Structure 1
Amino acid sequence: MEYKDYYKILGLPRDATQDQIKSAYRKLARKYHPDVSKEPQAEQRFKEVNEANEVLKDPDKRAAYDALGNNWHAGQDFRPPPGGAGGFDGFKREFNAEDIDQFSDFFASVFGSGFRRERPQPRQRGMDQNTRIQISLEDAHQGTTKKIRIDEPRQRPDVGGVPNSRTLNVRIPAGVTQGQQIRLAGQGSPGSGGNGDLFLEVDFAPHPIYRAEGKDIHLNLPIAPWEAALGATVPIPTLGGTVSLRIPPGSQSNQRLRLKGRGLPGKTAGDAFVQLEIVNPSADSDKAQKAYRKLAEHFGDFNPRAKLGV
């Protein structure tokens, strides 16, 4: 193992003061910083400078290092005495996992034989959580704020008791679709490395007149026989309010008309699709029955089942 002469790395005598150490470190750190330095092997030199400063700025570590003696020279093969330099194994507990790879094997051998093996456990991010939220199509169209309750899982499932719960006010953006997930960063289960995320799956409540497919909205529209035959302009409901729709003359049941951009909003808004349904008036009076008889006489040759061959 190569001996590291920390004084030589910083360009200092062994009796350098703390102010001299600080000044030399700052100067060399600027010179070899990998983000700005054009020097050859800048990253390696930067690590060596940091390691030297880590030892010499701390009186206890410096004393342990100086206890090795001043007859060593950089590049010489070094074999640490048993137990490290004067029993300084306690230093190994001062560093976290991110620090370990920044220092050399020489540093590890001096300040604790178990330094590299005793890496602390990495910090664990909390678990993500998933839940569903039911909203109306009107809420999906306009956007809304909903209050939800989240039950926190118990740390030990074998222990009885009611799990902790918390409530959140969740903003539902306009234009969400069935099955879409909304991510709430940091609202999942807690962990030593930060909270997980909470994912809300959007579920549409059944609607009495509308049906959603993606961002498109579908509606069955009842019309009178004369509106279908002669054409008409009729009012229809949409999620954005009532609008007028022109029924072309000669329209038939199950014919579908499209209202562009009248579905759920978004960068590309959905459409509203209207399926026509011809509804006949009831023949529940003599006057109504007489009208139907006249209609039958007028269209006596009309056979609605002609396509069936009967």
Structure 2
Amino acid sequence: MDFKDYYKILGIEPTADDKAIKVAYRKLARKYHPDVSKEAGAEEKFKEASEAYEVLKSPEKRAEYDELRKYGQQGRPFQGPPGWQSRAGAGAGGFGDDTGDFSDFFSSIFGGRAQQGGRARSTGRRGQDVEMELAIFLEETLSAESKQVSFKVPQYNPAGQRMADITKTLNVKIPAGVVDGERIRLKGQGAPGVAGGENGDLYLIIRLAPHPKFDVEGHDLIITVPLAPWEAALGAKVAVPTLTGKINLTIRPDSQTGQRLRVKGNGLMNKKGERGDLYAQIKVVMPPSTDEATKALWQTLADKAAFDPRAQWSN
């Protein structure tokens, strides 16, 4: 029976505190979980990390292990201190004889059964997590109504064999302040566990659907406001759409293409429940065609204005 160095397995120092132990275990568990990792030997590494965490998270088990660690080196047959086997036999520490998923080394010290809160560690397999993209309209990010979501859930029989998927439907409340690409976790809504294991989780990847009128910058919205040349020159009142209706926007005289007018509080919601702003970006648009009389008026305006928009090029 080879000695196992649980500290090396988790990649931490023997002086590591409880937080460092937990962080190291979670990192390895995410990396090597059999439902996620395709790496060779991932399942064995996952079991080793789970065994190491089971020992090091408990002050009592850790103290007993640290005492025995003085007599062993990883990868070599473990002899232990004199008389240790008589203390660590079956049922040692009140843990019973069930070896579960743990190694002979663990069983020889703790009797084989990991406990938490006085209950035996479940040998069931956790259900598979499910991930899907969820497209939502900008208007839906402001709504208090739930959105119906349907997705496929993998199923397994008690022996762990794959069965036909089922379709699951949920009504999901979209959290305030979601942004494109955000990952939302719905605990326990994934595939059911096997042999008493806990359910997996559902992860929703938010995708904001493109809007025909608005561009998104963080929690602000940008809308292009087309103006006729005379509206830009003389000023105007323009009805501008927002996500919740229309507003009347005042265009000042002598406005220019590219100018942005800020409309406070008409953007998207942030995590604090506050809305960003709407920016109306001016774009001067020429009429599609003109008759001879209109052209004459434009010529009169050109002559009277005597304006050269490219005058700076001559400098």
TM-score normalised over the length of structure 2 = 0.56
Match for residue 255 of structure 2?
251
Match for residue 296 of structure 2?
290
Match for residue 126 of structure 1?
127
Q: Which moved more, 1:132-141 or 1:118-127?
A: 118-127
Match for residue 177 of structure 1?
179
Query: Which residue of 101, 104, 112 maps to 1:117?
Result: 112
- In the TM superposition, what whole-angstrom CA distance separates every residue of 1:205-243 from its partner, at most 9, and x where no partner exists? 121111112211111110121221222222111112101
- In the TM superposition, what whole-angstrom CA distance separates every residue of 1:168-212 from its partner, at most 9, and x where no partner exists? 222224543222233212112222342222121111112111111
Match for residue 228 of structure 2?
224
Q: Which amino acid aligns with 1:272?
A: L
Kept after mapping to 2: 8 A contact 1:190/1:196: yes
Structure 2 runs not aligned, ≥5 long: 1-59, 61-85, 102-106, 115-119
Distance 2:128 2:140 in 1: 29
SS of aligned partner of 2:286? coil
Query: Which residue of 285, 289, 292 maps to 1:279?
Result: 285
TM-score normalised over the length of structure 1 = 0.57
Aligned-residue CA RMSD (Å): 3.7
Q: Which amino acid aligns with 2:297?
A: A
The verdict on how the C-alpha distance between 1:161 and 1:154 changes in structure 2, with shifts beyond 3 A counting, is: closer
SS of aligned partner of 2:206? strand
SS of aligned partner of 2:181? coil
Distance 1:242 1:145 in 2: 25
Kept after mapping to 1: 8 A contact 2:96/2:112: no
The verdict on how the C-alpha distance between 1:224 and 1:282 changes in structure 2, with shifts beyond 3 A counting, is: same
SS of aligned partner of 2:307? coil
- In the TM superposition, what whole-angstrom CA distance separates every residue of 1:144-174 from its partner, at most 9, and x where no partner exists? 4332222123549xx8875332222222245
Kept after mapping to 1: 8 A contact 2:90/2:111: no
Kept after mapping to 1: 8 A contact 2:269/2:275: yes
1:309 aligns with 2:314: yes
**Superposed displacement of residue 279, structure 1:** 1.0
Distance 2:177 2:237 in 1: 29
The verdict on how the C-alpha distance between 1:143 and 1:218 changes in structure 2, with shifts beyond 3 A counting, is: farther
SS of aligned partner of 1:307? helix
Q: Which amino acid aligns with 1:290?
A: A
Kept after mapping to 2: 8 A contact 1:151/1:166: yes
The verdict on how the C-alpha distance between 1:133 and 1:284 changes in structure 2, with shifts beyond 3 A counting, is: same
Match for residue 268 of structure 2?
264
**Superposed displacement of residue 143, structure 1:** 4.3
SS of aligned partner of 2:146? strand
Match for residue 204 of structure 1?
208
SS of aligned partner of 2:303? helix
Distance 1:278 1:205 in 2: 28
Aligned pairs for 1:19-168 within 5 A? 92=96, 116-117=111-112, 122-123=122-123, 124-153=125-154, 155=156, 162-168=164-170
Kept after mapping to 2: 8 A contact 1:218/1:272: yes
Kept after mapping to 2: 8 A contact 1:225/1:280: yes
How many residues are matched? 210
Query: Which residue of 217, 220, 243 maps to 1:213?
Result: 217
The verdict on how the C-alpha distance between 1:165 and 1:83 changes in structure 2, with shifts beyond 3 A counting, is: closer
